[in-house]
Amino acid sequence: MRFPVLDGWRGLCALFVALFHFNALGHFYLVPFVRGSYLFVDFFFVLSGFVITHAYVGRLKSAPDGRNFLVRRLGRVWPLHAATLIAFIPLEIVKALAISGETAAFTGRFAPSSILSNLFLVHSLGIEDRLTWNVPSWSISAEFLAYITFAALCLLARRRWLVTASAVALSAAGAFVVMGWSDRYVDTSFDFGYFRCLYGFFAGHIVYRLFRAARGAGLSSLPMPGVIEGLSLAAVIGFVAMARGNALSYASPLLFGLVVWVFAFEGGGFSRLLAKRPFQWLGARSYSIYMVHALVIALFHKAAAFLQRLLGQPMFVDQTIEGEEERLISIGIPLVMDSLALAYLGTVVAVASLTYRFVERPGQASFNALLLKDRKRPVQPAVVEIV
């Protein structure tokens, strides 16, 4: 059983996260909902916990099962992560060769010393003192570590009630760490990102258990599904606009968990819209959209810097946004900047469609082939030594 409506949600959320990161001073940039769209990372965590529980909770019964699960999940996330990481290196080489006012190459976020932590997917554990290389990839690190935690939980706990009780404890522990130590409310990444993911991922696990319980109790569809979906959508829009940068953001996994539960029933008009082909196409490429958008932003900034030198006209403005200094692309005409933002999103989707076809899917297939090859390997007869 798939949840196509939730796939559609994933595509929309990936687009809004990409738009949030695009620093271009137009109307879109200042919309409160866009400024809070970083919270959709927590939607990804909740949705991942929901879907992974649905697909694997009854299948992880032995150590080989756990190994196969982790190989499949690594094949799902690592090839594209590695490809985007490597793609940033030529940009730093160009920066080193160019004569410009940019920061020195291979320093700060792009320090070579952080490449290994990125490659080994541990850069959400506080190993680094800042976001590094492909900025959104911290959440891929956190999520893969959550996969390991989930597999260990299923293999050790075994009984369903104990798995569920442990999931509640892990989600609560993640929330406790984030609330106790993060200095940016729920918006923690390279430092306590793993614990933020635990909070959301295992909240998604609990939501799946509640969904199955509702189905088991005979609730095959929600009453007045259109109204409930409409209220859920309004709640998401209002929450994301209001919760950015304050303590309300701690509730993100709880609200998103409720929304995932509602839309898992796939009963209303918005569900029917998300199940249509354009949103399914977008949802299938959501991981690529999420992973390539920082690279596209870097290319747009390079192009703006080149035009600034070529034309002798300023293409950037420094502004303080919500207490932080930001360097924004700006030519002083908001409608032009809005058009640039739309062109950026179009470029992200175009690049994502290429990486989905030539990196993401082949990479996943290669890892799956390793498992198939392992299953086909003949069993060697045991050798009995006589002492």
| CA 80 – CA 73 distance, rounded (Å) | 12
Share of the chain above pLDDT 90, in %: 77
Mean pLDDT of 216-240: 95
Does residue 126 lie within any of the structural domains?
yes
What would the pLDDT profile of 290-304 be if each residue is shown by its tens digit?
999 999 999 999 899
Mean pLDDT of 92-103: 74
Does residue 207 lie within any of the structural domains?
yes
Indicate whether 312 pLDDT > 60. Answer: yes
Least confident of 173-187, 262-276, 310-324, 352-366: 310-324
Mean pLDDT of 140-144: 98
Residue 10 belongs to what domain range?
4-376
The domain tally of the chain equals 1
Does residue 174 lie within any of the structural domains?
yes
Q: Which of 23-27, 50-54, 218-222, 304-308 has the highest mean pLDDT?
A: 50-54
Does residue 387 lie within any of the structural domains?
no
- For residue 158, what pLDDT is reported? 78
- For residue 380, what pLDDT is reported? 44
Indicate whether 100 pLDDT > 90. Answer: no
What would the pLDDT profile of 249-305 be if each residue is shown by its tens digit?
999 999 999 999 999 999 999 999 999 999 999 999 999 999 999 999 999 998 998
CA 377 to chain centre: 35
Mean pLDDT of 204-208: 98
Does residue 172 lie within any of the structural domains?
yes
Mean pLDDT of 85-89: 96
- For residue 126, what pLDDT is reported? 94
Mean pLDDT of 241-245: 95
Does residue 275 lie within any of the structural domains?
yes
- For residue 375, what pLDDT is reported? 63
Does residue 381 lie within any of the structural domains?
no
- For residue 197, what pLDDT is reported? 98
Q: What is the mean pLDDT of the chain?
A: 92
Mean pLDDT of 332-360: 94
Instruction: Look up the pTM and report it.
Output: 0.93
Indicate whether 376 pLDDT > 70. Answer: no
- For residue 30, what pLDDT is reported? 87
Does residue 383 lie within any of the structural domains?
no
- Confidence bin at 320 (pLDDT 50/70/90): confident
| 309 compared with 118, residue with greater pLDDT | 118
